[in-house]
Chains A and B, each alone.
Chain A
């Protein structure tokens, strides 16, 4: 007896063992179909008596174990059912022969046998034989169950007769000594007549009868017999059999106390039988007791009532639940005395544990199991070891020791792939390892780890994950190992040493080179679903911030339409109650817009927790709401980097509300989709932004170089700015080129300008409105002088426009120049190009393009004194001007019909010009339209300006810096101030 049956439980003692075997060639699936049908007959009520017979079916049983049948009768094979295929009559004799051969194997112990023949028809099948049943095919055998029941009944008859036979074997006859295989040689030459020997024979026989009674469904009788056997055997110190008697007593008591059975869900090997038992559990409630109650005469007829005091009462014979364990302990201690009874001891332990599990006495059960671990069964094959460890694990699970269970399961898994095994069962190993996961409180769903810090047995869990990775790799499923390895890296990152981090990532890269990791759910054959593992820690993202478009591309809503689009969430204009709670923060709409078709940016602050450079590839945004084209980026983060800004870009392709849900990365060949919802550590100021329909996009370039120099009062952000340095009165042409680089047609363009930091009034608002059709590049030349004022005229013409507005210049430094000639004046102006087009225009959006203009005005020529002298003609006069050159260059001043005057640096000379007298009243009066719209002060300014222009045109004083002559042509003009003096 070397192979223990770990599935045994106490109630198996009342079953009779029937072996079902195929004979000849029987297809395996067909055999097991028949086997299942046979095994469904697990309990048979015997006619004419109220007893039940329980049958245990085995399709494989070692004859060696059968030899222990006398010791415990439930180990004895009493029935044999053979299943065979027989095609024709010719094969019949051979088949029959085989059946007889099979019978020989268990010959000594068989009560009865049956042969089920499939496929045979004809005259042989016609004959009526009790031990053979013929069926045309495996599918056509409706009465198999009936046959089996008949067969069981015939077994019962034999069993009953044996029981009566043995029970009535009175001491008059010589009682044979029953013994177990290894005892046989011990009794050679023993005095068979001694009292001691006789008692031993009696005791063993009592125990045997007890077994038979139990099997025959006479529980109370069995108890009585066992009690007697215990007494007898104890007196002769026959420990092995005493143990067996005690165990019998326990089994009978267990059957009495727990009619539901102790096997629980663990009866895996014979599921249908177990189900049958469970279903019938209610029906077979205390069969023995019932029988005794109904038919008390039965006790007297079988002749043992004389010696047993049946009056003692059933309850007294039966052990209490506590006693059952005590007796089991005792029995096991007796078994332990015999090395050869290891299997019996082990099985007894298992049975006891199952009973204790039902009693919920986990501590004692664990002691039994602890003992079972140490039982040495000699050399075990690898498969037996695996079986032993798995069953230990199962039993520990049964008593609620989940960690211990996991431990043994893991040992079993490791045993599956022990180096001594020629063909390691990696698949089995993997499967067992997966089963250990709950025991180590490890879930393979990364979501369970996202909440806060990891709490668990990191060292043990890491080991297990490593084993899973290795097993799945050896199984030839690299996808699985990538998944497990990713999981290991993601969840155990905090516990990995730097060296381990390196190793793990290296092997991950190795695996992914063959099988890239993805985001799909892997479903294992047994239904377990492995969720994808997004690498949210590689790199760690600290914050996500959606960025507004650059100033020049920001869309603005037309004022008039603003009111309509105002959200009417609350009827109150202002309410102190904040409508959003913190949870909604993420879903809060951000108060800027993105534009369809334009590149939008999201800034992430990331850092690399690894001790080496981390290469993140294909990093992009995950969005929902609108069609979004993400433009992935690749980045390389230095080892243990601090926070590192990363900008992810993309282009919304449709309009609507866009939500940034997360980002995707590809690290070490594993692609991951990291959703912000599951990342609690990420700070974000909202992920929802409105995308408005597309707008045209203008690019501005100027003929002058751009300046980084910002305008002084930076009240508003400027798209670009230009700065020039000019002498007072100098004219500089500036060409501004606008190009529509967007995909939408430009439909409207509005140009406005304003001087930002001069207190002087500016003349004539600059306003150009152009209507364009056609998507061609817009090229526009604008001339502006000194950044003061430009009067534009509306021009409407298709395609290329060349616009040359008349420019008027007013030397602005004249007033202050009286006191400080070297004063450098600074002028700033902003030109705004407001444009719109396409679908965005329909929605009422436009864009602003601003150009800052910064002019440093250096003093050039000053008129320090102005006086007039009467000329020869009364219609004319001489104008005397003291001209001062404040520049560092030599220059010439010329006036209309006058010769040039050369002025050296910082030189002052007087020049006289003969001019015609004129009257300002001849100036044209502003028309009614303008008068209505402008203030009086403005009108006065206007008038002065007109007068100045007139003086300017009359005098036509210009100056040139000789050294720059080739480059610049400058014009000096008199101020209106001067002209007033002149008039006076």
Chain B
């Protein structure tokens, strides 16, 4: 399962970022931050082809020595990034996709909350709980 899950706003600042193990959070901040380069590149590449009907799932953004970074962009340009451990080979593309779908649904719920201000950091407990369920249980 994921080691880090991040939601990034249209303007490319984080709305939500959570990782296990928590002690090295900054590393994941860097990982997710740099992955945005690839996300932007992919969006612009796809954008040229067909702006309306594009696949939200961006696939593997880039692999590092220890992790694989996957991306997903909603139609409103909100980005989801999931970092998984490279050693976890059992994880299939389909599972990643379903994780993103779940994340998207949950994010939609957050946006539907009339008390949530779009652009603020996400503090929803329901969202947090759903993310926790997708994370690797810290041993």
Contacts and interface: CB of A to CB of B under 8 A. Distances in A.
Interface stretch (A6-14, A37-45, A362-370, A938-946): A362-370
Interface string A392-403: 000010001111
Contacts of A190: none
A401 B13 contact: no
A325 to B, nearest CB: 15
B49 interface: no
A671 to B, nearest CB: 32
Contact of A460 (B11, B12, B33): B33
Contacts, number: 48
A269 interface: no
Contacts of B34: 401, 403-404, 407
Interface string B3-31: 00000010111100000000001100110
A459 B25 contact: yes
A401 B26 contact: no
B38 A401 contact: yes
Contact of B38 (A366, A456, A460): A366
A201 to B, nearest CB: 41
Interface residues of B, number: 21
Given A363-B45, A459-B29, A403 B37 contact: yes
Given A400-B37, A456-B13, A363 B25 contact: no
Interface in A940-978: none
Interface in A359-395: 362-363, 366, 370, 374
A404 B29 contact: no
B26 A402 contact: no
B32 to A, nearest CB: 9
B97 interface: no
A400 B33 contact: no
Contacts of B127: none
B77 interface: no
Main DSSP-derived SS at the A contact region: helix
Contact of B29 (A366, A441, A457): A457
Interface in B43-66: 45, 62-63, 65
B95 interface: no
B136 interface: no
A983 interface: no
Contact of B36 (A366, A374, A403, A463): A403
Given A460-B29, A463-B26, A404 B45 contact: no
Nearest to B11: A455
A219 B63 CA distance: 39
B109 interface: no
A460 B30 contact: yes
B93 interface: no
Given A403-B34, A407-B34, A362 B29 contact: no
B104 interface: no
Interface string A401-440: 1111001000000000000000000000000000000001
A402 B30 CA distance: 13
Interface in A332-375: 362-363, 366, 370, 374
Contacts of A404: 34, 37
Given A366-B38, A401-B41, A460 B26 contact: yes
A401 B33 contact: no
A374 B64 CA distance: 10
B33 A457 contact: yes
A402 B37 contact: yes
Given A455-B11, A456-B13, A363 B38 contact: yes
A459 B31 CA distance: 12
Nearest to B38: A366
B41 A362 contact: yes
Contacts of B62: 366, 370
Nearest to A463: B26
Interface string A445-487: 0000000000111011001000000000000000000000000
A505 B25 CA distance: 24
A407 B38 CA distance: 14
A460 B28 CA distance: 10
Nearest to A365: B41
Given A400-B37, A456-B13, A363 B42 contact: yes
Nearest to B62: A370
A400 B25 CA distance: 26
B35 to A, nearest CB: 8
Contacts of A441: 12
A129 to B, nearest CB: 57
Nearest to A462: B26
Nearest to B63: A370
B41 A457 contact: no
Nearest to A396: B37
Contacts of A401: 34, 37-38, 41
Contacts of B37: 366, 396, 400-404
Contacts of A463: 26
A749 B74 CA distance: 79
B41 A400 contact: yes
Name which of B9, B25, B37, B63 has the most chain A CB atoms within 10 A of its CB: B37
Contacts of B30: 407, 460
B45 A457 contact: no
B105 to A, nearest CB: 25
A455 B119 CA distance: 9
Nearest to B36: A403
Contacts of B26: 459-460, 463
Contacts of B25: 459
B41 A363 contact: yes
A741 B16 CA distance: 65
A441 B11 CA distance: 11
Given A366-B62, A456-B13, A460-B26, A403 B33 contact: yes
A402 B37 CA distance: 7
Nearest to B31: A407
A402 B35 CA distance: 11
Q: Across the A-B interface, give the 5 residue pairs with the lowest CB-CB distance, nearest first.
A: A401-B37, A455-B13, A404-B34, A362-B41, A459-B29
Interface of B: 9, 11-14, 25-26, 29-30, 33-34, 36-38, 41-42, 45, 62-63, 65, 119
Given A366-B37, A370-B63, 11 more contacts: A366-B38, A401-B34, A401-B37, A401-B38, A402-B37, A403-B34, A457-B13, A457-B33, A459-B25, A459-B29, A460-B30
14 contacts: A362-B41, A363-B41, A366-B37, A366-B38, A366-B41, A370-B62, A370-B63, A401-B38, A401-B41, A403-B33, A455-B9, A455-B13, A457-B14, A459-B29
